[in-house]
C-alpha cells in the first residue's frame, strides 16, 4: 500500500486500523480512478468520529442504544456520539420575533402546494427492456407528431392510442398535487405552462407519455400563523447544526491528528 496516498491515521495517539478508513471510503464521493481523494475524505470522517468517541469516553458517558427503525437499533458508538452531542449542544427555541423576521425575508418561500389538471397519452413499456422501449418511443413519437398537426383532437387520439385507463376520459387525469404521480411525471408537469403539451415524449417508469397541462393553480402564499412552527423547527435545527459543527471544530483544534487533512473539504 502506498504510504503517502494511504497514511496511517493517528488521533491523539490512538492508531485507527486501515480497515476502518477503507470501509468508510465507500461512503465518500471521489472521481473515478482517484482512490487517494476518497481515502482522504474517509480519513477526515473517521478522525472526527474517533475524536467524538474519545470525548464521550473521557466524560464517562453511557448512552442507551435507541431504536432507529423497525427492529433496528443504534450501534454502541452511534449511541455514545448522540449522547455526547445531546450533552454538548444546547439550543433554545427561537424567539417569536426572530421567527417572524425569517418569514418576512421572503414570504413567497412559504406556499401551499400547487395543483395541476393534466391529460396524457401513454405508450407503455418497461424502460429496462431496450427493444420494448425503442418500440414504445417510435409509437409515442408518431402520436406526438399527429397531435402537433391536430392538437384539438387530443381526447380522441388519447381514446384510441393511450395504454392508460384514462383513455376512457380522453386521457384526462383530473386534479393532481405533489406526490400524486411518479417523480418523472411530476417534473414534466412543473416544467409546462398552462395549456402546453410536451413537444417530445417523456419517459417514466411506466413508459412514454405525451402530457398536456390543462390548468395550473399555483399554491397561495401561506400566512405566518400557518407556517410559524415549521420555520421555528427549521431555525432550531440549523442552530443545532452550527453549534455541533463548532463543537467538532474545537475538538479538532485541540487534538493531535496524523493522517487527516482538514484543510480539504
Q: Give the pLDDT confidence of 56-95 residue by residue, as tens digits.
A: 999 999 889 999 889 899 999 999 999 999 999 999 999 9
Q: Please tell me the predicted confidence (pLDDT) of residue 63.
A: 85
Average pLDDT of the residues in 122-138: 96
Q: Enumerate the domain spans of the chain.
A: 9-92+231-258, 115-217
Residue found by looking up cell 417569536 in the block: 96
Average pLDDT of the residues in 223-227: 96
Residue 5 has pLDDT above 90, yes or no: no
Q: Please tell me the predicted confidence (pLDDT) of residue 4.
A: 58
Going from the C-alpha of 214 to that of each of 98, 112, 116, 220, 261, the distances in angstroms are 41, 20, 8, 19, 55
Instruction: Band the pLDDT of 241: cuts 50, 70, 90.
Output: very high
**How does the average pLDDT of the chain come out, rounded?**
93
Q: Please tell me the predicted confidence (pLDDT) of residue 2.
A: 52
Residue 211 has pLDDT above 90, yes or no: yes
Q: Mention the CATH class of domain 115-217.
A: alpha beta
- The pLDDT tens digits for 144-199 are 999 999 999 999 999 999 999 999 999 999 999 999 999 999 999 999 999 999 99
- The pLDDT tens digits for 90-101 are 999 999 999 999
Amino acid at each position: 500500500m502506498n504510504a503517502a496516498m494511504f497514511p496511517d491515521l493517528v488521533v491523539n495517539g490512538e492508531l485507527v486500523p486501515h480497515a476502518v478508513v477503507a470501509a468508510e471510503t465507500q461512503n465518500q464521493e471521489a472521481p473515478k480512478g482517484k482512490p487517494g481523494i476518497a481515502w482522504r475524505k474517509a480519513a477526515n470522517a473517521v478522525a472526527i468520529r474517533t475524536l467524538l468517541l474519545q470525548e464521550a469516553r473521557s466524560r464517562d458517558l453511557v448512552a442507551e442504544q435507541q431504536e432507529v427503525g423497525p427492529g433496528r437499533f443504534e450501534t454502541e458508538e452511534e449511541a455514545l456520539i448522540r449522547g455526547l452531542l445531546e450533552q454538548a449542544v444546547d439550543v433554545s427555541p427561537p424567539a417569536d420575533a426572530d421567527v417572524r423576521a425569517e418569514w418576512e425575508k421572503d414570504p413567497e418561500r412559504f406556499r401551499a402546494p400547487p395543483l395541476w389538471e393534466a391529460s396524457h397519452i401513454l405508450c407503455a413499456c418497461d424502460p429496462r427492456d431496450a427493444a420494448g422501449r425503442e418500440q414504445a418511443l417510435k409509437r409515442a413519437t408518431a402520436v406526438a407528431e399527429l397531435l402537433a398537426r391536430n392538437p384539438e383532437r387530443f381526447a380522441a387520439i388519447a381514446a384510441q392510442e393511450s395504454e392508460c385507463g384514462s383513455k376512457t376520459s380522453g386521457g384526462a387525469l383530473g386534479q393532481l398535487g405533489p406526490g400524486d404521480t411518479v417523480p418523472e411525471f411530476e417534473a414534466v408537469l412543473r416544467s409546462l405552462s398552462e395549456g402546453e403539451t410536451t413537444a417530445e415524449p417523456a419517459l417514466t417508469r411506466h413508459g412514454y407519455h405525451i402530457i398536456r397541462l390543462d390548468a395550473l393553480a399555483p399554491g397561495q402564499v401561506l400566512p405566518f400563523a400557518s407556517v410559524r412552527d415549521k420555520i421555528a423547527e427549521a431555525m432550531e435545527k440549523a442552530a443545532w447544526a452550527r453549534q455541533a459543527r463548532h463543537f467538532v471544530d474545537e475538538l479538532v483544534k485541540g487534538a493531535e491528528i496524523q493522517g487527516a487533512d482538514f484543510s480539504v473539504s
